[in-house]
Amino acid sequence: MKYWIRILPVAVAGLVVLSGCASDEPVEETPTTVTTATTATTTDTETTTTIKETPTGEPSYIGIPGSRFVELIADVPETDPTPYASALIFPEQPGLQFQGPDGTYCEMYSDGEPVAMCTHDGEGDINAVSVREGEPATTHHVNRIFVPGEQTVVLEPGNRLVEGPVSCAVAEGEVKVMCAIDFYSFAVSRDGVELS
């Protein structure tokens, strides 16, 4: 009997609900406010270059490998490349060529495989430095006559040349030529080469 006493109120409540659903009376709708909360998360990625002093006193660049001279080159104002066109000296040759203030000779190409290449007074057979797209700068031997022509123009300090993705510049008050493609770069003068 106790069983029926516990179930009876539940059964009656169920019948009342069912009879309310079956009636033909219109059901009055109550407006309901729905609040949706959305959380947006934004993540900023920032690349920084940090310089730390090494025990020898020389700076050690931490950040994007090879990017040491990229910012310095970008800070130099761009100049008109027309007087530096290789075709003015060798009609069939693409790209740009110039001399640095100290006589360092450089060529820049963007057709085919972008490259910047300059001479330097190296040791043994090492007489050039270059940077190619997607590769770090490197020193090597050039097995052809790689010298300026009589009409080769000097890239004066405070000027930057751009040939496609290739940039070369001489900063104000400097004699070294800095060249970069993407994040790889080098600096060169008759005194030597700095790879980055």
Answering whether pTM is above 0.85, one says no
The whole-number pLDDT of residue 16 equals 46
Q: Which two tokens stand for residue 4?
A: 């029926």
Structure tokens, 111: 């057709």
Q: What's the pLDDT score for residue 90?
A: 80
CA atoms within a 13 Å half-sphere pointing along the CA-CB vector of 105: 14
Q: How far is residue 60's CA from residue 62's CA, in Å, rounded to a whole number?
A: 6
Amino acid (1-letter code) at residue 101: P
Identify the CA nearest to 190 among candidates 111, 108, 99. Answer: 99
What H or E segment, with its residue span, contains residue 18? helix 2-22
**Distance (Å) of CA 168 to CA 61, 76, 86, 97, 117:** 21, 9, 15, 10, 10
Q: What is the DSSP letter of 29?
A: P
pLDDT along the chain (196 residues), means of 10: 50 50 51 47 39 39 63 96 90 90 93 91 82 93 73 95 97 97 93 88
pLDDT, tens only, 115-138? 999 988 777 788 899 999 999 999
Of residues 121, 103, 113, the one with CA closest to residue 181:
113
Query: Percent helix, strand, coil in the chain (nearest 5)?
Result: 15, 30, 55
* Cα angle 192-195-196, degrees, rounded to a multiple of 5: 150
In contact, 106 and 179? CB cutoff 8 Å: yes
Residues 6+ apart with CB under 8 A from 48: 63
- 103: how many CB neighbours lie within 10 A of its CB? 14
